[in-house]
A and B are shown apart, each in its own frame.
Chain A
């Protein structure tokens, strides 16, 4: 069956360290993968998009990698800050003509000062 997996356990790190979040998928062949941030009580906010033919994408302190062989995306936040504490969702297109996004359940990141 088709599945997207993100670590359901919260990631707890010290301020200034690099946070690495994982998104694994099975039985999809997405052309695009997106990452969103969600704060408690709010809707998700788009952060980054990476295409299947891109290995890596950067935006300020954020970096995303996309390995279509491993069927995995890694999301890195360097020099993390307490303000980065939130839930991070990955989303991918199904790789079919529907072009709809499928979302993972998210990983909560806690950055300790």
Chain B
């Protein structure tokens, strides 16, 4: 039981390059989330998927796209990376999208855009 896994762990991109961050969970959770964490800013929600087949914007969606490939997998794509997207990205999952449900986080992807 691996929980939430993310790939890659580290990535360096040049401005304008694209990449996809992968996330998978094996807990049969309905809801999945992508956050970014910057120093002093806390975790900010980029996109989330309340259930398979649905996706919605969070607080900071500009410059990102997501795909809920199936119930297990939720990917985050940067089409044209910018230095402002340098951050640590966390994927999380929960049983449902609810304030009463704990979220399970992956180990994070550290992305640097030069």
Q: Which residue numbers of A lie inside 8 Å of B, CB to CB?
A: 4, 8, 30-32, 34, 41-46, 49, 51, 89, 91-94, 98-101, 103-106
Q: Quick check: A105 and B41 within 8 Å, CB to CB? A: yes
**In the complex, what residue of chain A is closest to B42 when comparing beta carbons?**
A105
Q: Quick check: A32 and B100 within 8 Å, CB to CB? A: yes
Name 12 A/B residue pairs within 8 A (Cβ), A-sorted. Answer: A4-B42, A8-B40, A32-B99, A43-B106, A44-B103, A49-B100, A49-B102, A94-B99, A100-B45, A101-B99, A103-B35, A104-B42
B48 within 8 A of A: yes
Complex Cα spacing A105 to B35, Å: 13
How many residues of chain B are within 8 Å of chain A by beta carbon?
Answer: 23
| A31, A41, A103, A105: the one within 8 Å of B99 (CB) | A31
Of residues A8, A51, A100, which shows the largest number of chain B Cβ atoms within 10 Å of its Cβ? A100
Distance (Å) between the CB of B15 and the closest chain A CB?
26
Q: Which residue numbers of B lie inside 8 Å of A, CB to CB?
A: 4, 35, 40-45, 48, 58, 90, 92, 97-100, 102-108
Distance (Å) between the CB of A57 and the closest chain B CB?
13
Complex Cα spacing A106 to B40, Å: 8
Q: Quick check: B43 and A89 within 8 Å, CB to CB? A: yes
Complex Cα spacing A44 to B33, Å: 13
Do A42 and B107 contact each other (CB < 8 Å), given the known contacts A31-B99, A32-B99, A100-B48?
A: yes
Complex Cα spacing A31 to B98, Å: 10
Distance (Å) between the CB of B104 and the closest chain A CB?
7
